[in-house]
A and B are shown apart, each in its own frame.
Chain A
């Protein structure tokens, strides 16, 4: 299976800050990389697919970049509703896998 490793595992930032989360794949996954946001007590929700395409309704303060084995999710101007856990997920192989998650808190 393709392993996805996210960093950091957790972070704390202030409202208005710029936040970056990294996802590294154990082998090249081209651009088959998605990002999800899970608010406490809820199911994950799709933010970005194919590395950088915003899903419908997702605010433009979210952006994604990367290719191959290294990818980033960036949140510009952090808002209180952005708290929760962020996951990357690959659909390159037929066995989809997720990163272990990055927990984001507001200072």
Chain B
């Protein structure tokens, strides 16, 4: 069973770059079968999908964040990371790393779902 654990600074100054890492255990980031995903949850509880790197290395970012966002996988440490530049107060949230699994629906298509989640890390943006 895959387990995920976020790490990174809990406090970031406005205009700086937020960098978070996600340690993967119980599986390998390059073994296939998952899209390595970041999601955030605002204090008012809304969930926002940030983006993912697929098991083939392709990237898919939320267009609202694309110009500031970078997601990468490090096979040497079995981790994946998020970098978000030029942060503002609007970026304050709980950040979750997650594993998006998928399964064939036959002729219907491929079903994607987020089946593993980290515990979440709180990010505050303040000077």
- Determine the chain A residues whose CB is within 8 A of the CB of B114 once the complex forms: 34, 36, 44, 46, 89
Interface of B is mostly: strand
Number of interface residues of B (CB under 8 A): 22
- Determine the chain B residues whose CB is within 8 A of the CB of A3 once the complex forms: none
**Best-buried of A31, A32, A45 by chain B (most CB within 10 Å):** A32
Q: Which residue of B lies closest to A47 (CB)?
A: B113
Partner-contacting stretch, out of B13-21, B81-89, B115-123: B115-123
Which A-B residue pairs are the 4 nearest by beta carbons?
A: A43-B117, A49-B113, A91-B112, A96-B49
Tell me the A residues contacting B by CB distance below 8 Å.
Answer: 30-32, 34, 36, 42-46, 49-50, 53, 55, 85, 87, 89, 91, 94-98, 100-101
* Residue B43 is within 8 A (CB to CB) of chain A in the complex: no
A26-B49 Cα distance, complex, nearest whole Å? 17
Q: Would A94 and B111 count as touching, CB distance under 8 A?
A: no
Q: Would B117 and A44 count as touching, CB distance under 8 A?
A: yes
Q: List 27 A-B contacts (CB under 8 A).
A: A31-B108, A32-B112, A34-B114, A42-B119, A43-B96, A43-B117, A43-B118, A43-B119, A43-B120, A44-B114, A49-B103, A49-B111, A49-B113, A50-B111, A53-B111, A55-B115, A89-B49, A89-B113, A91-B111, A94-B60, A95-B49, A95-B63, A97-B49, A98-B46, A98-B47, A100-B45, A101-B47
Could you tell me the distance in whole angstroms from the C-beta of A105 to the nearest C-beta in chain B?
14
* Residue B26 is within 8 A (CB to CB) of chain A in the complex: no
Could you tell me the distance in whole angstroms from the C-beta of B52 to the nearest C-beta in chain A?
9
Q: Mask for B48-72, Cβ within 8 A of A = 1, else 0?
A: 1100000000001011000000000
- Determine the chain A residues whose CB is within 8 A of the CB of B46 once the complex forms: 98, 100-101
Q: Would B117 and A45 count as touching, CB distance under 8 A?
A: yes
Q: Which residue of B lies closest to A99 (CB)?
A: B47
